């Protein structure tokens, strides 16, 4: 790692147990992540820092071609619960990471076939979302920028995966060419909280994120609403508030 000080919002954390460790490491290897650093906290230290009365061993994984948007596996001796399971993205408490993939339909094929075999998988198939399409667009004669994005949820992973078409952002989504799924680092992270805006103060007043939508109707496209399984536009402080911690825009 060229800069070991990078952490915080550059990191997606997943809680697992020792029984899950090998399988989860192998899974993320398919998306280009490998173990880089490790550390331990005893019960007393973990209780003070995380509020969990358990020893924990952490593994930091990174995409092989970048040192940002890292992945942390937190291996608890006594986890407090089983997590959100296969619930959709929109449930309160949901967190996920989003990454670029050169072939999102390959991932979708695996999800569909795994589900057919009875594996615990919940997914939303790839949805097409236009990206700054020019006015009076003429097919075949103008660029047609868009993405296909999908949701892939398993008991220990919650991912949004997308593929770009007809446009490039070279500094956002550096694909690991050696990975099976030809995937990148996380380009942004998302979480769902309830509608009390004062609970969001931590993110802008402490972490320094810029709050861009507050108490306004969402402008999500049909594809984005399908991804989030929101049937209609919502007020950003009604019932659920979606906070996208954008590390780099799609």
Q: Residue 162 — very low, low, confident or very high, per pLDDT cuts 50/70/90?
A: very high
Mean pLDDT score across all residues of the chain: 84
pLDDT at 85 over 90: yes
According to DSSP, the β-strands at 183-193 and 95-101 are antiparallel
Instruction: Give one DSSP letter per residue of 111-143, joined into a string.
Output: HHHHHHTT-S-EEEEEEEEE-SPPTT--TTTS-
pLDDT at 26 over 90: yes
Supply the pTM of this predicted model.
0.85
Q: What is the pLDDT of residue 198?
A: 59
**Segment 188-239, tens digit of pLDDT:** 888 887 766 556 777 778 777 766 666 555 556 777 777 777 766 554 443 3
């Amino acid at each position: 790692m060229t800069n070991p000080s990078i952490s915080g919002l550059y990191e997606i954390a997943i809680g697992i147990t020792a029984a899950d460790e090998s399988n989860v490491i192998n899974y993320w290897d398919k998306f280009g992540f490998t173990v880089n650093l490790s550390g331990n906290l005893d019960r007393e230290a973990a209780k003070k820092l995380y509020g969990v009365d358990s020893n924990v061993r952490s593994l930091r994984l990174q995409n092989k071609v970048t040192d940002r948007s890292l992945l942390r596996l937190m291996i608890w001796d006594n986890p407090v619960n089983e997590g959100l399971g296969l619930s959709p993205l929109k449930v309160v408490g949901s967190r996920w990471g989003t990454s670029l993939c050169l072939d999102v339909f390959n991932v979708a094929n695996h999800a569909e076939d795994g589900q057919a075999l009875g594996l615990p998988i919940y997914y939303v198939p790839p949805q097409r979302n236009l990206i700054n399409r020019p006015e009076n667009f003429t097919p075949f004669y103008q660029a047609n920028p868009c993405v296909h994005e999908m949701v892939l949820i398993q008991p220990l992973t919650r991912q949004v995966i997308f593929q770009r078409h007809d446009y490039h952002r070279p500094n956002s989504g550096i694909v690991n060419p050696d990975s099976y799924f030809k995937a990148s680092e996380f380009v942004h992270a998302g979480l769902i909280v309830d509608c009390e805006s004062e609970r969001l103060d931590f993110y802008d007043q402490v972490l320094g994120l810029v709050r861009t939508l507050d108490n306004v109707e969402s402008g999500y496209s049909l594809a984005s609403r399908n991804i989030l399984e929101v049937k209609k536009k919502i007020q950003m402080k009604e019932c659920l508030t979606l906070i996208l911690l954008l590390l780099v825009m799609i």
